[in-house]
Copies of this chain bind each other. A is one copy, B any other.
Amino acid sequence: MNPNLLVRMQELRDLSGLVGLATWDQETYLPKKAHDARAAQLGTLQALYHERLVDPRLGEWLDRAEPASEDEQAMVRVLTQERERAVRIPSRLVKALALAQSNALAAWREAREHRSYPVFEPALAALLVLRREQADLWGHQGERYDALLEAYEPGMKTARLLPVLGALKAKLVPMIASLTRGARPPRLFGGGGFDLEAQWAFTVEILEAMGFDFEAGRQDKSVHPFTGGTHQSDVRLTNRFSAEDPLPAIFSALHEGGHGLFEQGFDPSFSRTSLAQAPSMGLHESQSRLWENIVGRGRPFWTHFLPRLQARFPQLSGVSLERFLSEVTLVEPSFIRVEADEVTYNLHIVLRTELEVDLVKGTLSTADLEAAWNDKVKAMLDLTVKSPLDGVLQDIHWAWGELGYFPTYALGNLYAASIWRVLEREVGGVAEALARGELGVVREWLRERVHRHGYRLEAEALVERVTGHGLTDRDFIEGLEARYAELR
């Protein structure tokens, strides 16, 4: 490879790692009064990254890249795509977007205080105008939403996504109706008093069993759990702990641990190259959902781990495996996405995706967004939204200007189910291994088939290579059917 190109690619990856460090620190250890200074530091770093990326010399080096291997070809492809998208956005629009995002965030916070969507609406409308302009500059074949989706899920198209989500919705709505019949058992964790250090130790025990390498990563505390870091040898998970209920921290550890294993699993030769990243948010999410939901809500996992949980929390000593499983697989339509169970969760995503597509297309105006939201909640979840805090104002993402990101959560669930199906078939005896606490068989297979490839292939192409087919809702639906038939 052209040595200038290699050096610049490494430099960009280092800068991106430093953005990761400054962001992680902002959410974990940054002193309260330093947030303005940190925003300035991050702004400087991101501006430098942008400047080095759009540098015309990088364009020339990419044109005469002389890749010496398939991996180098992939590096050139990934960096070229990133650069071409960046080059198309004039700095005028970058600045206007930053300002509009900042305004929308302030308006969203104010709207939540006043419990009033109309307080947020004008700022969202202004942001939408700019995001549409950005989508047109990025370019598309008539479906503007494609250009936005591409930022999070390269290669995915609206025309391919919507039918799958539509089929998913059509199957989930009746499934949920049948799973929610009957009386709800009382909550297991009403009593509280779950020692925070014991929770921390249990999450570390799970992460170690998963094979998360604490010599190439960490766990820390933050208000919202996330996975960050600076390099495949420096992967940083965060979590939060409440004495009321240990389950959120446990499932967050499984979720972020799944992301973390992906990052730690990149081929070592990808260090400081464009291949040392997941090809899409959806594929990244497939790894977190696989561990959180498919493994983490399953009977085999808890066959091993429930006794260990009970050893740490004596107040759970009388709880049977059946009772515990009924708790972690409770299906119940609710208003808030981030608190939703694994079955209803996807309807929250379908709802947002349908609204986003219509907003971007212009067939839905921001003025009508709240009513459209509430109608869809009624149609999909049979719930009546009483407060916008439980409805259209619940997520911060639109105030950040994120359009095209929500669907990656559903893609993650669908990809996870398809990958899991092959894993079960190829590995054999997975349930038995998990019931013995041997999570390593899952990790090793995922590392070999998914993680180590990084960004060698686009997400759906990788899934197709692993499973023999592309995006489908079938494996996800059948996985749920099998689990809930066995449980109920």
A interface residues with partner B (beta carbon < 8 Å): 10-11, 14-15, 17-18, 21-22, 25, 29-34, 36-38, 40-41, 43-45, 48, 213-218, 220, 230-235, 271-272
Contact status B214-A31, CB under 8 Å: yes
How far is B19's CA from A22's CA once the two chains are assembled, in angstroms? 11
Q: In angstroms, how far is the closest chain B Cβ from the Cβ of A46?
A: 11
Q: In angstroms, how far is the closest chain B Cβ from the Cβ of A228?
A: 12
Contact partners of A34 in chain B: CB under 8 A:
216, 230-231, 233-234
How far is B33's CA from A213's CA once the two chains are assembled, in angstroms? 10
The closest CB in chain B to the CB of A30 belongs to B234
The closest CB in chain B to the CB of A220 belongs to B29
Interface pairs (8), CB distance under 8 Å: A18-B41, A18-B44, A25-B25, A29-B220, A32-B216, A33-B233, A34-B234, A40-B272
Contact partners of A25 in chain B: CB under 8 A:
21, 25
Contact status B22-A18, CB under 8 Å: yes
A11, A30, A37 interface centre (most CB from chain B within 10 Å):
A37
The closest CB in chain B to the CB of A34 belongs to B234
Contact partners of A36 in chain B: CB under 8 A:
233
Contact A215 B32, CB 8 Å, known A14-B45, A22-B21, A48-B48: yes
The closest CB in chain B to the CB of A214 belongs to B31
How far is B232's CA from A43's CA once the two chains are assembled, in angstroms? 18
Contact A230 B29, CB 8 Å, known A21-B21, A216-B34: no
Contact status A216-B31, CB under 8 Å: yes
Contact status B215-A10, CB under 8 Å: no
The closest CB in chain B to the CB of A216 belongs to B33
Contact status A215-B22, CB under 8 Å: no
> 9 nearest interchain CB pairs?
A34-B234, A37-B231, A14-B44, A34-B233, A33-B216, A32-B215, A33-B233, A14-B41, A33-B215
Contact partners of A11 in chain B: CB under 8 A:
44, 48
The residue from B15, B214, B217, B232 contacting A44, defined by CB atoms under 8 A apart? B15
The closest CB in chain B to the CB of A217 belongs to B31
Other A-B pairs, 6, CB within 8 Å; known A11-B48, A21-B41? A10-B40, A10-B44, A15-B44, A32-B216, A33-B234, A34-B231
How far is B45's CA from A15's CA once the two chains are assembled, in angstroms? 8
Contact status B271-A29, CB under 8 Å: no
Contact partners of A230 in chain B: CB under 8 A:
34, 37-38, 41
How far is B30's CA from A344's CA once the two chains are assembled, in angstroms? 39
Contact status B18-A45, CB under 8 Å: yes
Contact status A218-B17, CB under 8 Å: no
The closest CB in chain B to the CB of A40 belongs to B14
How far is B21's CA from A318's CA once the two chains are assembled, in angstroms? 48
A22, A25, A34, A45 interface centre (most CB from chain B within 10 Å):
A34
Contact A233 B37, CB 8 Å, known A44-B14, A44-B15: yes
Q: In angstroms, how far is the closest chain B Cβ from the Cβ of A273?
A: 12
The closest CB in chain B to the CB of A52 belongs to B48
